[in-house]
Structure 1
Amino acid sequence: MESSSGKIAGFTASPGSGKRGSSSAASPFSIHSLSADLLCIIFSRLDSLELVRCAAVCKPWNKLIYSSTLLRDLYDKIRLCSSSSSNLSVPVEASMKRYFENLAMEQHRLSFLGSSADVHQWRGHSLRIALCRMKRGLILSGAEDKIVGLTDSQICIWALKSGKGIFRSHEGIFTRGICMGYIDPEAVVGCDDGSARVFDMYSGRCTRIIRMHGAPVSCLALTEDQLVFGGSNFGTVTVADFSTGEQLASMKSSFSHTGMKSLCFSTHSHLLYGGSTSGYVHCWDLRTFRPLWETRVSPNVIYSIHHLACDSSTLAVGGLDGILRILNQNTGETLSRFILNPSTKLDGSNSTSSPFKMNIKAKAISSDIEIHNIPRSQRHPITCLAVGLKKIVTAHNEKYLSLWRFHQSL
């Protein structure tokens, strides 16, 4: 199934243009057959954000862009336009890279402050979508190159490319699973007995049990540096060592003790964000294990929180009320609110070409008062979300995926 904005086949949806595959790579008329001079001419017509994104496509493009004068010339143009001084020195490569990365993050932030967004929507699943990710132009209902599913008592893992099952846990291995996360090669399941059970995804063996809470583990977050965070129905968050299972700290809200429903860790700033069943968003500093701020952004449960890995300014929040909110990571202030076109029906009846694809609009909402004037039936709950550069993927009504594309305000 293909659309003008992407492709969904099996487990994936690709928002990139064009088809990928070995046949196109081997073609003498592919982009890889162009000379370095021709590529430089093409790249010279791109803006700073597009050029930095091209540098991340593959090693040959990265080497060409950073070894040529493309970025240096573009940097000089930007500096000359923003300063009256003409006696400017060109920075070393490392500083120039940092400058363009910061510029890309600023454009990313500004795009979330606009008044509208284009949304491409697919009916991607027949069952509830509990997890969605974005990676290199792919929308995955899982992560990396695998799809992971969680039922009450089973973990199911499929290879992304072949769709072949590579692991299925046996019934009765653990008590009812509520939430799940994984960093290859291990999957962690939060259970209703208060434990987090770690599985080897290739052998199917439960390697260890981490005691997290005296209440069910309602949400999980994992880090590359061997930490696991588990939220509970009692509103507490436990920090444990992933490899040893040792509990390192326990955190909770200073005033709202409702259950935790979602967690998100920022490696850039060492902050942990959590969403609760009462609509609060919490922020803890993991260097002190103390809360930095807490704010109620919604009257209903917050199902998902996420941000771009290298972004330290914005935080996307979605939940039961169907409003996509952008918060300031450092203060919790709501920067913008977006909603799908209220007339959109998630049953395929709005589509002109196929019941599986819709191109719709999202609009910004100025205040919470305006939200109350929109009937609840026209606000589709956001069950999970993932943030990419100037775009966000959300899941609605258990089986619909939406790709929001934001445009920087002029």
Structure 2
Amino acid sequence: MSDDALQYLAGFGNQHQSEAVAGSLPRGQNSPQRVAHGLYAELLSGSAFTAPRADNQRSWLYRRQPSVVVGGYAPLAHEFLKTGAAEGQVVPPDPLRWAPTPVPAADCDFVSGLRTLCVNGDPDAQVGMAAHLYLANRSMERTAFVNADGELLIVPQQGRLCITTELGRLDVRPAEIALIPRGLVFKVAVDGPSRGYVCENYGAALRLPELGPIGSNGLANARDFLAPVAWFEDEEPGDYEIVKKFGGRLWRARQAHSPFNVVAWHGNLTPYKYDTAHFMTVGSISFDHPDPSIFTVLTSPSDTPGWANVDFVIFPPRWMVAEHSFRPPWYHRNVMSEFMGLVLGQYDAKPEGFKPGGASLHNAFVPHGPDTEAFAKASAAALTPHKLDHTLAFMFETRYRLLPTAFAMQAGGALETTYADCWNGLADNFTTP
């Protein structure tokens, strides 16, 4: 898809309207007796009907055939896709890290190429998340995917994606992200071997965090989140496979038409893309290393204020200017669990061992921090302003313990069994006064 063919509607959570054929959107009535151009009205609700107005998410879709026109579903096996804490492995409280997993040579699209690394929670209880990799070398042509268990935050690391949704298309490159609402049908086209990360969020929908003392400006701005314009597949009818994730399992059905037949829509439940280059970083210019919460792009709150079900945090290019301070992250033990990935460049706390496409997991109260090399370099560095550039790391942070899957822990896989050795050189340098 060329950039000049793309148009977007800006603003996270805004009410949008878009039509691919003029006159398709009704005026003054959401669902008239007869919709223009012979279309059907369908409501997609992402929240309970009685949710407060500020939290209510829904979109009206005006489509050529409603989504009820689909065949019966049958189970679809997927060896590597896991859901909920019940499918995790019991592991000791050790730090874990994975090298980049190569894209397989065998054909795999976005769905068949999903590999779950760690899980928690329960989608039926609408609590928790899963962290997946996607490894794809083939586009989804006449196959579409819909996740009834949770929304999907897609973080490309290698390869450009064209994501076709019921509401339109998104062109997403590495260093950009895509957010697909729960229950929305989509498919993914790839441009060569592609790899990335996916956060499957079972809890409250991701939203922009409150800014508190930061004030009215900073972090991610709503206007930089782009929703697609209406677009539909105008082609001859033909067999289409619909893959649905429902109750932690995959199911498949076939229908005789494209699910991407929405001619017009309006509402605030939409997919989005976001370029992380637009993130307005906030940092210390006096002393000490600020908490990573100041890099939060999106948050899924839990029932305890301040304790997120999921936070999506990025570590983008930024200036480091604090005085008389150790600048990488401090050694710490956190009540939250931290799953990290590296999209590009080098992560300042792990200059060599952490590679783009890799991942790490530090669960609740598992100690972690700069490796021996990073500590030595930062302890002796001249404290002049410098910029961390050509880098992008991210974190899925959650209040619940993350359990790695059997795939993540398999012998001979990407698991780095010597990861903890990176701290062995931190000697006892204490000297008596």
Shorter-chain-normalised TM-score: which range? under 0.3
TM-score by length of 2: 0.25
TM-score by length of 1: 0.26
Write 1 or 2 for the structure with the bigger share of helix.
Answer: 1
Write 1 or 2 for the structure with the bigger share of strand.
Answer: 1
Structure with larger RCO (C-alpha < 8 A, sep 6+): 2
